[in-house]
Structure 1
Amino acid sequence: MPEPRYLDIERLRSWIGREESASDTISPDLVRRFNAAFDIKCAFPSLGDAAPLLINYCLAPPAIATSLLAEDGHPEKGGFLPPVPLPRRMWAGSSLAFSGALRVGDLVERVSRVADVAVKTGRTGTLCFVTVEHKSSVSGNVLVEETQTIVYREASTAQEASSRPGAEAAAMGLHNRPVGVSVPLLFRYSALTFNAHRIHYDRRYAVEVEHYPGLVIHAPLQATLLLNYAAELGGKPPSKFVFRAVSPLFDDEFINLHAAEEGGKMKLSTARRDGPVAMSAEAAWA
């Protein structure tokens, strides 16, 4: 199917190769707030301690002036990411490789590069996938490599936004844990990541404009829960972690973490009780 006339794929692909750099320090206070948000009980963080897993998502977030945010709370389109003319933007998934632990006090330098832009047609219409590569280093040593996929899509109807027709209930793993994801946790995570996307904290906007039944649980928040669960079950943090968003989860749902060892790796997922897979993930240890 040809791309819509308003979607100039060649212009969007001209963003491939564009880079931006940012740096931030993992301060003891940031770690303290991160641990408090996730109810991680540990001593007051000291310089040199291993930092919490995926705290890198809280480092050097874009600090766009409030007046320059679009209606949905994201920065206006253009700049580092291509100006995709589709109204909905979501984090579709990531593949991460860890070659060492980030530590409290580290100055982390991140280089991000637009690696690909592709248009596809899905069940809900036109989809535009933007692939971004991130490398986070400390003192010149790359410790976290990530390939992130962002998906842009057309506006949803109420039915499309709240359900995935025909989806089967998620399979129970060998290991299972119920987790309460409260509105304060969503707010705190948005604050930690400086994420103004309104679907995560503005219920009126989420329900009336984007037609969700409630506030949407962040993809990286779910990934953080799953990665920590994998590290706990495996006895140490994995060296590789891949996650993919499948269907949305909302703040009015009690969610479950599922995990099972399979072929030397660990398969994980999130789901509401008796609901379909919301996020699938895989952890591996070198």
Structure 2
Amino acid sequence: MLPSRTVFRSVFSQYQRTHTHRLFFSTNLQRCQHTQASSQDNKSPLEQWRDQISRKKIIEKDVITASQFNLMGNTMNDPIYRNQRLPSTGTELPPAWHLAYFPPRVTEQELSPDGFEQDWKPPAPFHHRMWAGGELEWNPENPLRVGDEARMESTIRDIQFRPAGRRGDSVFIWVDKKISNDKGWVMTESRCWVYVQGTDGHKKEDSSSSNKKEEEVIKPKQPTVLKELPKADFSLDLTPSPILLFRFSALTFNSHLIHYDNIYSTTVEGHRGCLVHGPMSFMLMINELNKHLKTKDDTHYIKSLSYRCRSPLVVNEPIQVQGKAKSDVPGHYDVWVADQNGNMAVKGSAIVGRIGG
């Protein structure tokens, strides 16, 4: 779960008093005075990285092609754009289908040891990455369309430190990705990653690694059953298969081992199996909410959606993609993805508008 800004301030204040040699804080917080770090040379590697990464900007370009559009339709089993049905030039890209574009264009040698791109990665010991959540807001008057030449600008929104979690200290990083076409702003997708400390399995083998005790190997965390889910207005039952995970990884050029290497995912990172992609959960929620809205009134559209990944979803385990209108707040929906035990593994909130209203 993502730490709130209020919680973070409290946690950081306590951490700073006891760990002044590892000073670190949110980029959105007022900079603290620290007499031992008056110059760049005296700052810790983590502080130096924060200062550098906060100024970083990445600009990428892509063309909204019919082929990628169709491949996403086949991957997600869309009722219209699947099999050989390629969209014509000018066809509007459905919400969140931009995930099929702007792939990480890096060689294998530039990736982390476990396969993810390192554009925003903190220095050691934060070796492992997980998708923690995100937001999406877009312009209904200027959607991406097949044939568009699009531009994406990525910058840091916030950096937060969270000490002493289940996997030790962690760093939460928010990156804003602003996408535009020749008509101007299209959407802003914000992604939140959490970087955690490496495990023994991540380190290169040495003379002592062969003597590693059995209890040092991370054991998969077993799921717990929570209270019953709320009654939903719409629901999709789905069991993510290895093929679905592979296709989504290939389409988005995602080479992170946790999504397709079962041995790595279970023995190194301690999961029950390969993990469903965070952006896949995000896309499933938007797809199902969008279908629900269009069956009621074609003038309804999704203004924005924010979500948090609360617990992992695992391959070959059934999930439910669901949502419900909030009776007390018109135009607002709760959306979620539940795991096989009824846990709300991904929880989101959407704002819905009406064209011309």
Superposed displacement of residue 83, structure 1: 2.9
Return the offset for 1:115. Answer: 2.2
Which residue matches 1:40? 78
Kept after mapping to 2: 8 A contact 1:163/1:247: no
Q: Paired residue for 1:141, among 184, 187, 207? A: 184
Report if aligned partners of 1:136, 1:143 keep a CA contact under 8 Å in 2. yes
Conserved? CA contact 1:84–1:128, under 8 Å: no
Which is greater in Rg? Answer: 2
Q: Output the CA distance in 2 between the equivalents of 1:227 and 1:176.
A: 12
1:81 Cα deviation after fit: 1.6
Change (3 A) 1:241 1:190: same
Task: Return the letter of the residue paired with 1:83.
Answer: P
Q: Which runs of 5+ in 2 are unaligned?
A: 1-14, 23-43, 200-216, 295-299
The one-letter code sitting in structure 2 at the alignment partner of 1:227 is: I
**272, 278, 284: which is aligned to 2:345?**
278
| Percent of paired sites with the same residue | 24
Question: What secondary structure is seen at the aligned counterpart in 2 of 1:259?
Answer: strand
Structure 1 unaligned spans of 5+: none
Among 10, 21, 40, the alignment partner of 2:47 is 10
Match of 1:128 among 171, 192, 200: 171
CA contact (8 A) 1:73 1:197 kept: yes
Q: Could you tell me whether the CA contact under 8 Å between 2:288 and 2:322 is conserved in 1?
A: no
Aligned twin of 1:53: 95
CA distance in structure 2 between the aligned counterparts of 1:111 and 1:233, rounded to whole angstroms:
31
Q: Name the structure with the higher strand share.
A: 1
> Equivalent residues in 2 for 1:171-210 (5 A)?
171-210=230-269
Q: Cα distance, 1:233 vs. partner?
A: 1.4
Task: Tell me the C-alpha RMSD between the 2 structures.
Answer: 2.2
**Which structure would you say has the larger RCO, counting Cα contacts within 8 Å and 6 or more residues apart?**
1
Inter-partner Cα distance in structure 2 for 1:167 and 1:210 = 24
In the TM superposition, what whole-angstrom CA distance separates every residue of 1:94-126 from its partner, at most 9, and x where no partner exists? 111110321111111000112222211253121
Q: Give the match's secondary structure for 1:268.
A: strand
- Of residues 61, 64, 84, the one that matches 1:26 is 64
The code of the aligned residue for 1:118 comes to Q
Which aligned runs of 4 or more in structure 1 are off by greater than 3 angstroms? Answer: 2-9, 155-159, 161-172
C-alpha deviation, 1:234, in angstroms: 1.8
SS at match of 1:237: strand
User: What is the total number of aligned residue pairs between the two structures?
Assistant: 282
Pair 1:217-2:276 in alignment? yes
TM-score by length of structure 2 reads: 0.73
Deviation at 1:203, TM superposition (A): 1.2
TM-score by length of 1: 0.90
Match of 1:83 in 2: 122
